[in-house]
Structure 1
Amino acid sequence: MIFKNYIDAGIFMKNVNSCVENPNDNFVEKLKEIFSRRSEKNSKYSLRAFARDLQIEPSLLSKIMRGLYPLTEAMLQRIARRLGLSEEEIANLVQEFRLQNKALEEGKAEKANTFFPIAIDHLKYISESYHIDLLALIETVDFKNDIGWIANRLDLSEEKVKDAFDRLVRLGYIVLNEQKVTLGKPQYSTLGFPSTSDSLKQMQATSLEQAIKALFKVPLNERSQSTLTFAVDMKLIPKIIDEINSFRRKINKLASVEGKRPTEVYHLSLSLYPVTTRNNRR
């Protein structure tokens, strides 16, 4: 799933790579080694026969051996026992599987925190937040390179979508390769821009307008909007902001690491501000 996150007046968009990563490379090599040994002993021993011995479908075994199907730990153990491996060998394979899986998840989390800055001179051209929404929409699994379809999904006019699309192509944020549409970079960020930037404020404002629109149009089970009003010692504000940032990072990690097949574009908007006027601001 793709999220846009707002922090210190900054906006960034994240995406998740859709390729299948395999945490059981060592086990796949073991499978290939055993199949090769059996084939050498019996020239008629086929992949179909190997699948029969392992009690799985030949097509599934083919995908596993080509690294195209990520096994679960339980499935790995089941196949390993059908191979006749010792409990010690199985335990070693499981340990390797867990270590590789942990490394993959940590790698995804690290990748999820790498961003490419939007050029500051470009921001004035894409200050309406639907430009970022369009970039995020490209990463959904059912994206169609069709102006009418995009307009319907983002609830915008076709003219506005066409102008935004052309602008993003011209600025290099969208790349067209024949009929295929991809992002120029995997993740974009406006963090680090001056919080006084008028373009950045405009981007924030349009997003808040969308939040109001969602309040009246989107079913409650598809959104979460709430407000907390409280009295506070100003000395605690930095600590509260740190807690908000920690929560934002947690949501970011959840969406980036566990979101395998994004279907929708969401905003996560976090605002903390005073409603009282301090004496020194009067």
Structure 2
Amino acid sequence: MEHRPNYRNFIISELERRQKKNPAYSLRAFARDLGIPCSRLSEIINRKMGLSQARAANLAEKLSLSPTEKEYFLDLALSEHARSPVVKEMATNRIKARESITTQMGEDEFSIVSDWYHLAIIEYFQLPSSVHTIEAVAKHFGLKTDEVEKAIERLEKVQMLLKKEDRWEIPSENRAATFRSDYKAVHNFYDQLASKGRNKVGAAGKHQWDLSASFIPIKKENSKKMLEKIRQFRRELLAEASSDADRDTIYCLTLQFFNLTELEANSLSELAENSLPQLEKNT
């Protein structure tokens, strides 16, 4: 497999993954499951045929890629096959921007941070009532079994999950991650959570969700004190929730605190560093 970015690697990797589970799984069966002729799939893999934007998007969906991987897959295809020079250049620039991030973080870590369900899966396995099967996790979060299986593989690869007999365990209770405010990974992560939150608003039962916004007049130099109070509140809430022996589900808490009246580059960079809450555990 090539080391340079190439969308065909996603296709080949998925075929190898399925063949590992079922040695009798053939290229013809793979093409059938992807909904394309076997001859065309072979031509795509062997560089004899490219992918249009529509076909690339459809194929990314059939491969059960994560949201981040889908974006990357589509950009890789567009950078090679887009008819418009402008579209091709934009896709190439996005790939370069991603590579600058993954060089620092590692591709698996980038994916874990960007897609919300990786962190949710970690928390699920810490519930006393959790069932340690792919199917149970998929049902709990409304995910596809393929999505869960791949997510767990990534988490195991970066040692954020360890398989012991018939259970998954979390190796460290004190992992935290902080990233610069210009990391696309962070933006993707919170965009996904915002979308999940919007879909929950109006759910039956007031205890299921809470949405509020407050506009606070403050002295600018006190902003750091307020940020620390917010973080302290989060830590205390996490500690209280983790001590409940009967916990049986996962909720999401997102907090925002930002200056509405000015966006100075230095202060924004300093204040917008986000410690992802699901990666921060209190012992």
Give the structure-2-normalised TM-score: 0.50
1:241 and 2:235 matched: no
Q: Is contact 2:203-2:209 (8 Å) kept?
A: no
Structure number with higher strand proportion: 1
Q: Paired residue for 2:151?
A: 164
1:179 and 2:205 matched: no
What amino acid does structure 2 have at the position aligned with 1:235?
A: E
Q: Which protein is bigger by CA-based radius of gyration?
A: 1
1:274 and 2:259 matched: yes
1:134 and 2:126 matched: no
Q: Is contact 2:163-2:169 (8 Å) kept?
A: yes
Structure number with the bigger relative contact order (C-alpha 8 A, sep ≥ 6) is: 1
Q: Secondary structure at the match of 1:232?
A: coil
Per the TM alignment, residue 244 of structure 1 is displaced from its structure 2 partner at its CA by: 1.4
Aligned-residue sequence identity (percent) comes to 16
Q: Secondary structure at the match of 2:213?
A: coil
Q: Is contact 2:120-2:250 (8 Å) kept?
A: yes
Structure number with higher helix proportion: 2
What amino acid does structure 1 have at the position aligned with 2:252?
A: H
**Aligned counterparts, 1:223-234, within 5 A:** 223-234=209-220
Q: Is contact 1:145-1:180 (8 Å) kept?
A: yes
Per the TM alignment, residue 190 of structure 1 is displaced from its structure 2 partner at its CA by: 0.9
Q: Paired residue for 1:215?
A: 201
Q: Paired residue for 2:236?
A: 250
What amino acid does structure 2 have at the position aligned with 1:134?
A: I
Per the TM alignment, residue 134 of structure 1 is displaced from its structure 2 partner at its CA by: 0.4
What amino acid does structure 2 have at the position aligned with 1:220?
A: K
1:261 and 2:246 matched: yes
Per the TM alignment, residue 240 of structure 1 is displaced from its structure 2 partner at its CA by: 2.0
Distance 1:279 1:132 in 2: 32
1:73-122, Cα deviation, whole Å (9 max, x unpaired)? xxxxxxxxxxxxxxxxxxxxxxxxxxxxxxxxxxxxxxxxxxxxxx9324
What amino acid does structure 2 have at the position aligned with 1:202?
A: N
Distance 1:158 1:138 in 2: 16
Q: Is contact 1:141-1:263 (8 Å) kept?
A: yes
1:148 and 2:122 matched: no
Distance 1:182 1:195 in 2: 31
Give the structure-1-normalised TM-score: 0.50
Q: Is contact 1:123-1:200 (8 Å) kept?
A: no
Unmatched 5+ stretches in structure 2: 1-103, 267-283
Q: Secondary structure at the match of 2:168?
A: strand
